[in-house]
Amino acid sequence: MSSINKVAFIGLGAMGYPMAGHLKRSGLDVCVYNRTETKAFAWVDEYAGLSAPTPAEAAVDAQIVFLCVGNDSDVRSVTVEAEGVLSTMTAGTLLVDHTTTSKALAEELHEACDELGISFIDAPVSGGQAGAENGVLTVMAGGKESAFEVMEPVIAAYAKHTQRMGDFGSGQVTKMVNQLCIAGILGGLSEAFHFAECAGLDIDEVTLAIQGGAAQSWQMNNRAGTIAQRHYDFGFAIDWMRKDLGFALDVAEQMDLHLPIAKMVDDHYTDVQRNGGGRWDTSGLIEQIRMRREKVLAAKSAERVTHSGGCHCGSVRWTVEAPSVLATHTCNCSICDINHYQHLLVPESRFELTKGEEALSLYTFGSHEAKHYFCKHCGVKSFYVPRSNPDGVSVNARCLSMDTVEVIYDKPFDGKNWEKNAGSLAHLSKER
């Protein structure tokens, strides 16, 4: 293997426990540390290794120290803080961090190690708990080539593929790319399977039909069955995925990049967390999509409440009767797009102008059928009579007082092709 014979492993979670076990079974002397000592004792019993009461003691005489803990603060607590591994590691040794962290932390650890003559590699992994247990993880590494050459033959005990991506932090950035890909796949898969459900198809049968073609993915092959069963109490937790996506979104912002798909998926995961699903596998994303449809359907039959709204300066005020769960449309026509108008369409009978008729200014254009009402004082168009629904009123949902609104579900409307699409809105101004 190499001249490496003694290592330490810090963190015995779902990933670290089997990874440390593979190192021991490869013939190395392994000393472990885990915050919960009972987990460390269980590992010692299973693998006949050693454990230590602190990270510092575990790292004594270790040629390589491996980390696989939770987040940035956890990494700092076992490295640079009191009783961290850097207090006992010596010059010429190697610190390998398998934790998925921020790029900034990887650079910070490199600097701390460099001052002590210690080599450092950021080496996040992919493959999940199953990959760790089976010893087939993928490792993305950032650091010096010389340190990578020392690490690579050692981690072959649990890694089927290891690749150096560049300098310090590049391993973490590569892991961000990995998580962005997974998020996009899960977003598409969740929507597709929910579409299948609503169309009356069986998810298992759909998977059998399409998994041999271009739609195939690891997520489809391994998660379709559990999604159909609504089983999520396993695997890579949504809490962890949100942490990872947060790192990617932060780096993207630093590079002036917009990642709309990742942001959308992250927002969906936030909703799942709020509903108690933070420890679910990431495939639990589909539950947010299911929940959204259920709420929209419920809104159609829900009792209406009285919402209030108006212009910016308060000169124009109105009320509108609608459910507390609102279904709105954002139009891309020339005037709606420039005003960022979010349509809540109701029958005329459910709208009442309560203040400011004298403050309104009427604007029409094109066919002059739509009646756009603006406040003369602040210029805000808070409601109007649309051409698509002359028997109704559209209020701008962004002008509502939100205290009566539970949630808003918005859909795009292609107003640039108005003649083709206007009919899809006709029912919204009809009494039901």
* Cβ neighbours for 420, distance < 8 A, ≥ 6 positions apart: 414
Average pLDDT over every residue of 178-192 = 97
Q: Is residue 187 scored above 50 in pLDDT?
A: yes
Pick 431 or 343 by higher pLDDT.
343
User: What value, to the nearest 5°, has the Cα angle with vertex 73 and ends 255 and 243?
Assistant: 50
Does the predicted TM-score (pTM) go above 0.95? no
CA distance 337 to 159: 51
pLDDT of residue 181: 97
For residue 291, what pLDDT is reported?
Answer: 86
Q: Which pLDDT score is estimated for 297?
A: 76
Write down the domain spans for the chain. Answer: 6-167, 174-296, 302-429
Residue 301 has pLDDT above 80, yes or no: no
Question: What's the rounded mean pLDDT across residues 43-49?
Answer: 97
Question: What sign has the CA pseudo-torsion 138, 240, 65, 143?
Answer: positive
CA–CA separation, 84 and 59 (whole Å): 9
175 among known catalytic residues: yes
Predicted confidence (pLDDT) per residue in 70-86, tens digit: 999 999 999 999 999 99
State residue 1's pLDDT score.
Answer: 39
CATH class given for the domain over 6-167:
alpha beta
Q: What is the pLDDT of residues 254-263, one digit of tens each?
A: 999 999 999 9
Q: Which amino acid is at 205?
A: E
> What is the rounded average pLDDT of the residues 399-413?
90
Task: Tell me the pLDDT tens digit for each residue of 326-368.
Answer: 889 999 999 999 989 999 999 999 999 999 999 999 999 989 9
pLDDT tens track for 200-228: 999 999 999 999 999 999 999 999 999 99
The reply to whether CATH 2.170.150.70 applies to domain 302-429 is yes
Q: What is the pLDDT of residue 338?
A: 92
Smallest Cα–Cα separation from 137: which of 168, 81, 182, 175?
Answer: 175
In this predicted structure, the answer to whether residue 114 has a pLDDT above a threshold of 60 is: yes
What is the pLDDT averaged over residues 9-15? 97
Mean pLDDT (the chain) is 95
d(Cα 214, Cα 315) in Å, to the nearest integer? Answer: 57
Does the 174-296 domain belong in CATH 1.10.1040.10? yes
Sign (positive or negative) of CA dihedral 410, 416, 419, 421? negative
The pLDDT of residue 299 is: 66
The whole-number pLDDT of residue 296 equals: 72
- Whether the Cβ atoms of residue 318 and residue 354 lie closer than 8 Å to each other: yes
How far is residue 308 from each of residues 117, 324, 400, 429, measured CA to CA in Å? Answer: 66, 12, 6, 18
Contacts of 180 (CB under 8 A, 6+ apart): 245, 248, 259, 261, 262
Judged against a pLDDT cut of 80, whether residue 10 lies above it is answered with: yes
* pLDDT given at position 133: 97
Cβ neighbours around 293 below 10 Å, total: 13
Question: What is the average pLDDT across 156-179?
Answer: 98
pLDDT at residue 303 tops 90: no
Cα separation, 427 vs 300, in Å, equals: 12
Taking 50 as the threshold, does the pLDDT of residue 293 lie above it? yes
Cβ atoms of 56 and 83 within 8 Å: the answer is yes
Q: Is pLDDT above 90 for 237?
A: yes
pLDDT in tens, 245-254: 999 999 999 9
Report, as an integer, the average pLDDT of 46-54.
Answer: 98
The helix (H) or strand (E) run that includes residue 414 is: none
Among residues 160, 175, 376, 381, which one is catalytic?
175
